[in-house]
């Protein structure tokens, strides 16, 4: 480096400005300063810069089991204190003055708290307890935020990741089950959850999570050990009861005969009790709170009148504008959902025909409308107006996002006309 006088000078290690020369010392807010110390701000600045001071002693909290420690300031020039900086409570110009400051500190603690737990006093005074509590609260807040982030990620994955499906339909001519083959594959969360439905001679349903099969219709899970034990215990208990009953009857047949006789004698009394109970019920139904009897024709008239009133109420409700607007809104939402759920791409060929040619023409018109949709260009439709036939071989795929379904459901829930309709129906009920 060339200086301003033309000479070349190099910065020596003691004159380099690096962060290692500075200490991150912590000073007590109400720092104890000796009477002989002049300009304590300058002393604090020099201590932080690790400058050598001769006639300065430091009173700091001990990091061991002791309370306080006193040492000269030039000790701080050691490399250990660059990492482990002390917590300074007081500054003195001599050792005797530092001892006097310690004595005053001990007297204050005895006067305030009645003990000499100086570390606890300074931590509470300087807010160390509050800082530690805030530090713990900060850690708890970070953990809560992480959990909320994970929950939001899961919700976004559930709502925004689409459910993709593929299908294959192979139908030969005829309506037998053996001539129809259907294979549907559904995947979600990038194939983590998979569903497969296959129909050939029999229906097969299989659900997988990663490489684990959660459900398989071909291999149903065996009964658990506990259920088997329960069945065994119940069967053993029943056998024991039957054995005990048979043994009692074998031991005393006279008692069994007496029980049969008593049951035969008491059996005719039971229908009389039932008759009396039914008579009481009819009497209670025919009587009013005042004690007067209502004739049957009036009851029939009241029920018919209530039924007619309900019918008139629902007819007026159907004719109202709320019902028409709500029904049109619901129908529009349902059509949007059906169009959204339909596959985005289909390819294959369909050959169909009915015994009546006009029906074939109607179905052909509908299929041509469907073929005009986006992604259905590779669908080949061949009508047959001469014979009844149906052959199809189709492949398709699509996707469904739960966000769109939730959006439509929320719109239906927030519609005022539908909510008013539900309120009127509940009032009538």
Rg (CA), the chain: 46
Q: With bands split at pLDDT 50, 70 and 90, how would you rate the model's confidence at 63?
A: confident
- Write the pLDDT tens digit of every residue in 212-270: 988 988 886 654 445 555 555 665 565 565 555 554 444 454 544 454 444 444 444 44
Q: 221-224 long-range CB contacts below 8 Å, 24 or more apart?
A: none
Query: How is residue 176 annotated by DSSP?
Result: -
The bridge status of strand 180-188 relative to strand 379-383 is unpaired
pTM: 0.52
The number of C-alpha atoms within 13 Å of 152 and in the hemisphere containing its C-beta is 6
Q: Cα–Cα distances in Å, from 346 out to 162, 163, 167, 301?
A: 18, 17, 9, 61
Helix and strand totals (H; E) in the chain: 13, 12
> What pLDDT score was predicted for residue 187?
92
Q: Which two tokens stand for residue 377?
A: 């260009």
**CA angle (96 as vertex; 93, 102 as ends), nearest 5:** 95
C-alpha to C-alpha distance for 333 and 321, rounded to whole angstroms: 18
Q: What is the pLDDT of residues 108-161, one digit of tens each?
A: 888 877 777 777 667 665 555 666 678 889 999 999 999 999 999 999 988 999
User: Rounded to 10 degrees, what is the CA torsion of 29, 31, 37, 42?
Assistant: -20
- State the DSSP code for 290: T
Better pLDDT: 272 or 172? 172
145, two tokens: 């935020």
Which of 276, 399, 383 is CA-nearest to residue 343? 399
d(CA 127, CA 42): 25
CA distance 307 to 314: 11
Contact 388, 353 (CB under 8 A): yes
User: Pairing state of beta strands 163-171 and 389-400?
Assistant: antiparallel
């Amino acid at each position: 480096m060339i200086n301003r006088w033309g000479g070349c000078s190099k910065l020596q290690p003691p004159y380099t400005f690096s962060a290692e020369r500075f200490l991150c010392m912590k000073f007590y807010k109400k720092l104890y300063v000796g009477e002989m110390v002049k300009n304590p701000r300058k002393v604090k600045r020099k201590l932080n810069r690790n400058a050598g001071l001769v006639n300065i002693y430091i009173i700091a909290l001990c990091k061991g089991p002791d309370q306080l420690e006193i040492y000269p300031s030039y000790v701080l020039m050691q490399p250990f204190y660059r990492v482990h900086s002390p917590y300074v409570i007081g500054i003195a110009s001599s050792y005797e003055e530092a001892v006097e400051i310690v004595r005053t500190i001990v007297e204050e603690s005895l006067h305030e708290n009645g003990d000499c737990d100086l570390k606890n006093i300074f931590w509470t005074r300087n807010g160390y307890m509050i800082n530690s509590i805030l530090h713990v609260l900060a850690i708890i807040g970070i953990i809560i935020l992480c959990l909320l982030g994970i929950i939001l990620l899961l919700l976004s994955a559930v709502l925004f990741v689409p459910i993709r499906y593929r299908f294959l339909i192979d139908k030969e001519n005829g309506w037998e089950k053996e001539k129809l083959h259907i294979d549907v594959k559904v995947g979600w969360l990038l194939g983590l959850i998979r569903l497969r439905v296959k129909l050939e001679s029999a229906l097969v349903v299989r659900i997988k999570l990663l490489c684990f099969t959660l459900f398989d219709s071909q291999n149903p899970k065996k009964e658990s050990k506990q259920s088997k034990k329960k069945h065994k215990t119940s069967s053993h208990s029943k056998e024991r009861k039957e054995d005990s009953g048979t043994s009692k009857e074998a031991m005393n047949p006279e008692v069994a005969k007496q029980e049969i006789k008593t049951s035969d004698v008491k059996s005719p009394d039971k229908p009389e009790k039932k008759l009396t109970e039914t008579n009481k019920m009819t009497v209670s139904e025919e009587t009013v709170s005042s004690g007067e009897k209502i004739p049957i024709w009036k009851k029939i008239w009241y029920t018919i009148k209530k039924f007619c009133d309900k019918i008139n109420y629902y007819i007026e409700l159907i004719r109202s504008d709320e019902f028409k607007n709500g029904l049109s809104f619901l129908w529009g939402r349902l059509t949007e959902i059906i169009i959204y759920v339909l596959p985005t791409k289909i390819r294959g060929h369909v050959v169909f025909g009915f015994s009546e040619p006009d029906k074939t023409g109607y179905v052909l018109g509908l299929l041509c409308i469907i073929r005009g949709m986006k992604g259905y260009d590779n669908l080949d439709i061949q009508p047959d107006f001469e014979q009844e036939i149906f052959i199809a071989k189709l492949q398709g795929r699509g996707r469904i996002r739960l966000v769109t379904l939730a959006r439509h459901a929320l719109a239906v829930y927030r519609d005022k006309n539908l909510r008013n309709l539900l309120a009127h129906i509940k009032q009538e009920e």
